[in-house]
Amino acid sequence: MNLDFAFLTWETLVGFVAKGLVFSIQLTLVAMIGGIVLGTVLALMRLSGKKWLELPAAAYVNLLRSVPLVMVILWFFLLIPLLTGRPMGAELSAIITFTVFEAAYYSEIMRAGIQSVPRGQVHAGYAMGMTYAQTMQLVVLPQAFRNMLPVLLTQTIILFQDTSLVYAIGAYDLLKGFEVAGKNFNRPVETYLVAAVVYFVICFSLSMLVRRLQKKIAIIR
């Protein structure tokens, strides 16, 4: 079979793919920021030493980590309209799902990060007269973030790859953009190939950047 990429002009890309790329990036960024914030709260709950905070956080994290992401996407797409009483677009549903889902993974990373900070730092914070919140905010979390930055970013690259799974509910993401273009020009083989190359280039360059960052951090520490 002959491959023909001639249809992939700038107009095609802008017309079909750009919208999907924007959504994929938007979804990744919102889920990353929301996931890290929620994940940090969950991590603090799990490390609080209070059973009534620990147990719900542990249940949340373990539950979401043991269900396939596709099923979580389907669950939310089914449940959100039932709970709110009105239909919700696939895109918005995906954003909520990914934020909730990724929080479980980010929380495990943050937990490891917080645990990697020497205990003496906490005692030092208290000895300075800081409250728990101040100690966490000013002493522990900045160090934990710094230690965990490469892992957090790697998780974000995985998150970006996983956004392609919104296929299950038909949201218009990068992959969908290529797919629609492929159907339109009856060139599905070429568009899937190009989609793979685009994902590879994005993810590979990001992981190279993370690797450089990791080396930098490792030297300073």
Which spans of this chain sit near another protein (rule: CB under 8 A)? Answer: 1, 3, 66-71, 74-75, 78-79, 82, 161-162, 164-165, 167-168, 175, 188-189, 192-193, 195-196, 199-200, 203-204, 207
Q: Helix or strand or coil: residue 57?
A: helix
> Residue 134 Cβ, how far from another protein at the closest point, in Å?
36
Q: Pick between residue 73 and residue 144 the one whose CB is nearest to another protein.
A: 73
Nearer to another protein, 27 or 140 (CB): 27
CA proximity to 29, closest of 206, 219, 217: 206
- Report the distance separating Cα 91 and Cα 125, nearest Å: 43
> Read out DSSP for 174-215?
HHHHHHHHHHHTT-HHHHHHHHHHHHHHHHHHHHHHHHHHHH
* Min CB(207)–another protein separation in Å: 7
Nearer to another protein, 44 or 95 (CB): 95
Provide the Cα torsion 187, 193, 199, 203; round to 10°: -170
Judged by CB, which is closer to another protein: 136, or 175? 175
What separation in angstroms does the CA of 200 have from each of 5, 102, 158, 205? Answer: 18, 21, 12, 8
Nearest distance in Å: CB 66, another protein = 6
Residue placing its CB nearer to another protein in the complex, 106 or 135? 106
- Minimum CB–partner distance for residue 203 and another protein (Å): 4
d(CA 179, CA 156): 24
CB of 2 to another protein, least distance (A): 10
